């Protein structure tokens, strides 16, 4: 059976992928790598810990990662590892640059020196920046135009991976960009779990600014299935024309084409708890440089690889809210360990105060 090396495996999306991978390929050897940074939580893989090999390691540490590659000789590599929260990136961007840019390069280099069958670099819609007024969506041909420290660090990693794709064609490296994910195991600093955990603590749900920022939402299980499809796809060699047309690179944008405002997401979460959103949502100062809208077009992965989302959003968010209600001990421990996860932007400039 094949060996998979999955980085960021104790984070939100990585942990979901590990759980699903073991369902899809029960006999696979899974080497789960995570350095257990701010968003990493070993409890996310507790249920499968006896079926994986866990390695605590930093993907930006070349010597450590090369040694892991040589020890396990992975067939497939999926790099989910990233610092991923815009608020924390504004307050401390350096760790984001290390993981998201240097880490991406180290992983690509290890896959060059210790060859693998295929390697997927998992990125984000946010590298494209903010969607212009009147534009319908971004595609794989869109320019990278990141505008926040988090998304800029991810875009830097993307640029390095694109360079590896074309400079070292013997490496089978692919890339995905995903819409906003939701589902189990998401750290309660993100909107949906923050809404649920706040309400269950008797606190209102904070919505930045007017709440009319529009986001593209995708269930984490659909995202994981897309990544797995990209990892195993039979792809043609990269053509020379890709030098001027990034749409010809092995890059796939993943979306369910479901766009909704932040205020509506918060209202849906509160409603799923059986409460009145008008009584439980409060508007708070917006964070700096907050993207208003982004949406990606998944035509390429749908038409070329036959992937399609299977989760209806109304059902998916109800099930997600129920998961956090049922797993209160999981998120209570996170809050106990890390403190309150919201940021009060009215206090930033002096010191960022948890809300």
Mean pLDDT per block of 10 residues along the chain (355 residues) reads 97 98 97 94 97 98 98 98 83 88 98 98 96 93 94 96 97 97 96 96 95 94 98 97 97 96 97 97 90 93 98 96 98 89 69 41
Angle at CA of residue 239, ends 170 and 299, nearest 5°: 105
Q: What is the pLDDT of residue 355?
A: 39
Q: What is the pLDDT of residue 354?
A: 40
> Three-state SS for 11?
coil
Q: What is the pLDDT of residue 349?
A: 55
Q: Taking a C-beta distance cutoff of 8 angstroms, is the pair 279, 271 a contact?
A: no
**For 144, which DSSP code?**
P
Q: What is the pLDDT of residue 296?
A: 96
Q: What is the pLDDT of residue 351?
A: 42
Residue matched to tokens 């099930």: 319
Q: Which two tokens stand for residue 287?
A: 């964070």
Which distant-in-sequence residues (6+ apart) come within 8 Å of 21 by Cβ? Answer: 4, 6, 28, 30, 224, 228
Q: Which two tokens stand for residue 87?
A: 């608020």
**For 210, which DSSP code?**
T
Number of residues written out for the chain: 355
Q: Taking a C-beta distance cutoff of 8 angstroms, is the pair 148, 94 a contact?
A: no
Q: What is the pLDDT of residue 352?
A: 45
**For 102, which DSSP code?**
I
SS3 content of the chain, % helix, strand, coil (to 5): 45, 20, 35
> Three-state SS for 242?
helix
- Please, what sign has the CA dihedral across residues 81, 307, 165, 145? negative
Going along the chain from its start, the domains and CATH numbers come out as: 3-187+217-258+294-312 (3.40.50.720)
Specify which residues 293 forms β-bridges with: 214
Q: What is the pLDDT of residue 341?
A: 75
Q: Which two tokens stand for residue 47?
A: 């249920």
d(CA 202, CA 263): 19
Among residues 270, 309, 283, which one has the least CA distance to residue 178?
A: 309
Q: Taking a C-beta distance cutoff of 8 angstroms, is the pair 107, 59 a contact?
A: yes
């Amino acid at each position: 059976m094949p060996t998979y090396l999955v980085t960021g495996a104790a984070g939100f999306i990585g942990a979901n992928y590990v759980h699903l991978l073991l369902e899809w390929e029960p006999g696979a050897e899974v080497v789960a790598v995570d350095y257990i940074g701010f968003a990493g939580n070993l409890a996310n893989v507790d249920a499968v810990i006896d079926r994986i090999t866990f390695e605590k390691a930093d993907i930006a540490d070349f010597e450590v990662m090369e040694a892991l590659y040589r020890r396990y000789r992975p067939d497939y590599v999926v790099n989910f590892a990233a610092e991923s929260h815009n608020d924390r990136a504004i307050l401390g961007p350096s760790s984001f640059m290390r993981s998201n840019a240097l880490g991406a390069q180290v992983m690509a280099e290890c896959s060059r020196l210790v060859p693998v069958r295929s390697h997927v670099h998992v990125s984000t819609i946010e590298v494209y920046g903010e969607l212009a007024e009147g534009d319908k969506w971004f595609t794989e041909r869109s320019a990278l135009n990141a505008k926040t420290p988090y998304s800029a660090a991810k875009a830097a990693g993307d640029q390095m991976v694109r360079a590896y794709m074309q400079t070292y064609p013997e490496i089978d490296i692919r890339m995905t960009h995903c819409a906003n994910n939701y589902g189990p195991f998401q750290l309660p600093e993100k909107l949906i779990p923050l809404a649920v955990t706040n309400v269950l603590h008797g606190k209102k749900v904070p919505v930045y600014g007017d709440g009319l920022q529009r986001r593209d939402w995708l269930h984490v299980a659909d995202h994981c299935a897309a990544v797995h499809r990209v990892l195993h796809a039979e792809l043609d060699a990269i053509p020379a024309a890709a030098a001027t047309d990034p749409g010809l690179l092995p890059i796939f944008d993943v979306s369910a084409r479901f766009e909704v405002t932040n205020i509506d997401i918060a209202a849906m979460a509160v409603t799923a708890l059986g409460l009145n959103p008008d009584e439980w949502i409060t508007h708070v100062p917006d964070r700096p440089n907050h993207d208003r809208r982004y949406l990606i077009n998944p035509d390429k992965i749908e038409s070329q690889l036959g992937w399609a989302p299977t989760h209806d959003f109304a059902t998916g968010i109800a099930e997600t809210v129920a998961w956090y209600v049922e797993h209160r001990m999981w998120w209570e421990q996170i809050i106990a360990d890390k403190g309150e996860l919201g940021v009060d932007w009215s206090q930033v400039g002096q010191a960022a105060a948890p809300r």
